Amino acid sequence: MSTANKPKETSYIEAISQALWEELERDPSVFMLGQDIGDYGGAFKVTEGFLDKFGPERIIEMPIAEQGFIGMAIGAALMGMRPIVEVQYADFISCGWDQIVNVAAKMHYRTRDAVPMVIRGPSGGGLRAGPFHSQSPEGWFAHVPGLKVIVPGTAHDAKGLLKAAIRDDNPILYFEHKYLYRRVKEVLPEEEYVCHIGAAKVQREGSDLTIVTYGAMVQTALLAAEKAQSSGVSVEVVDLRTVFPIDKETVLNSVAKTSKAIMLYEDTRTLGIGAEVSAIIAEEGFEHLDGPIIRVSAPDAPVPFSPPLEDYFIPQVEDVLAAIDRLSAY
């Protein structure tokens, strides 16, 4: 196929930008709040050109006051608008913790009103950004009833899940992995599509062992599965995509097929999403297991700034292969 006829690939960051642009065009109740999202086009250039297209009433610059403008978004959502908050780095979301977990998450239980809002947080490590710009905070919020938490691992899902989140009537945390922004690309459907929130996806079929993962670790799992295949081990990769609610059915069906499970996640080990999925498998899929459930994760420590230490901290393909070898021995 000639280059001229080759379908255009869309990067993970372009997919996010497309989803935002399309939803702003589709629905006049959608607007954005955040730091540097206007003239500057966002810290990672996700909203470049948005101010010229949609104007300052819909692309609204905010001061460094996350608790204040997350609270403003909650108020707007209660009045029928659909705000999208960009937190410049996901780490800074802790400044708006009270508004998210004590107001947005509980408002429907208190008043029966919908709170249709999305908070976007560029998360994760791998960029040598140190402990204050590299965290994976999805586990904090997956523990809070009333919130939905999305962590896409592909460009296709980044677009489809963000569009679904904007249209949802619940407060949603959407964590987009910075390391994937310009590294992951794929050809997206030309027609409009929306992914289903709360549904996992089998990204690779396999028969010997299941890796359950999400976010940037999807790519790590796929690389490890490819290498394991050359050693005769068939690995299935289940991408959660939504870490709350968790798609138990897809996970349990995969484990029933392979009888072995590895939980792979970039977040720190204790009380992470992988621990919760491990508990689900142990409680509801124990009879299918032919070996222990293994967790591959970051250690319980802040994200290091030193490049060699960060590489040691974040699970690598070699770490996953070691877990595959260990589990395959059973």
Residue 2: what pLDDT? 53
Question: pLDDT tens-digit profile of 239-265?
Answer: 999 999 999 999 999 999 999 999 999
Q: Give dist(CA 262, CA 267) in Å, integer.
A: 15
For residues 122 and 90, the answer to whether their CB atoms sit within 8 Å is yes
Residue 85: what pLDDT? 98
Instruction: Tokens for 283, please give them.
Output: 């409680």
Question: pLDDT tens-digit profile of 45-77?
Answer: 999 999 999 999 999 999 999 999 999 999 999
The mean pLDDT of the chain is 96
Coil, helix or strand at residue 102: helix
For residues 203 and 239, the answer to whether their CB atoms sit within 8 Å is yes
Q: What percent of the chain has pLDDT over 70?
A: 99
* pLDDT at 19 > cutoff 70: yes
Strands (E), the chain: 10-11, 30-34, 59-61, 82-86, 118-123, 148-150, 172-177, 185-186, 201-204, 209-213, 235-239, 242-244, 261-268, 294-298
Put simply, whether the predicted model's pTM sits higher than 0.75 gets the answer: yes
Out of 108, 133, 156, 196, the active site residue is 133
Do the strands 201-204 and 235-239 form a parallel or antiparallel pair, or are they unpaired? antiparallel
Residue 4: what pLDDT? 62
The letter for the amino acid at 2 is S
User: How does 83-102 read in b/e, with b if 16+ C-beta sit within 10 Å?
Assistant: bbbbbbbbbbbeebbebbbe
CA atoms within 13 A on the CB side of 85: 33
Q: Which of 100, 117, 121 is nearest to 46 (CA)?
A: 121
Residue 3: what pLDDT? 57
Question: pLDDT tens-digit profile of 181-199?
Answer: 999 999 999 999 999 999 9
For residues 26 and 4, the answer to whether their CB atoms sit within 8 Å is no
Mean pLDDT to the nearest integer, 5-12: 89
Q: Assess whether 133 carries a catalytic annotation.
A: yes
* pLDDT at 210 > cutoff 70: yes
Whose tokens are 């780095």? That residue is 89
For residues 177 and 151, the answer to whether their CB atoms sit within 8 Å is yes
Instruction: Tokens for 86, please give them.
Output: 């960009």
Coil, helix or strand at residue 148: strand
For residues 88 and 35, the answer to whether their CB atoms sit within 8 Å is yes
Do the strands 209-213 and 185-186 form a parallel or antiparallel pair, or are they unpaired? unpaired
Q: Give dist(CA 233, CA 226) in Å, integer.
A: 9
For residues 81 and 74, the answer to whether their CB atoms sit within 8 Å is no
pLDDT tier at 316, thresholds 50, 70, 90: very high
Q: Give dist(CA 86, CA 14) in Å, integer.
A: 16
Q: Which of 286, 212, 288, 225 is nearest to 251 (CA)?
A: 212
pLDDT tier at 7, thresholds 50, 70, 90: confident
Residue 6: what pLDDT? 78
Cis peptide, bond prior to residue 245, ω within 30 of zero: yes
Tell me the domains of the chain and their CATH numbers: 3-186 (3.40.50.970), 201-328 (3.40.50.920)
Question: pLDDT tens-digit profile of 100-123?
Answer: 999 999 999 999 999 999 999 999
For residues 266 and 216, the answer to whether their CB atoms sit within 8 Å is yes
Question: pLDDT tens-digit profile of 134-178?
Answer: 999 999 999 999 999 999 999 999 999 999 999 999 999 999 999
Q: Give dist(CA 186, CA 112) in Å, integer.
A: 40
Instruction: Tokens for 303, please give them.
Output: 């994200």
* pLDDT at 30 > cutoff 60: yes
* pLDDT at 5 > cutoff 90: no
Do the strands 148-150 and 242-244 form a parallel or antiparallel pair, or are they unpaired? antiparallel
Mean pLDDT to the nearest integer, 201-209: 98
Instruction: Tokens for 32, please give them.
Output: 């954005």
Vertex 11, ends 228 and 227: CA angle to 5°?
5
* pLDDT at 78 > cutoff 70: yes
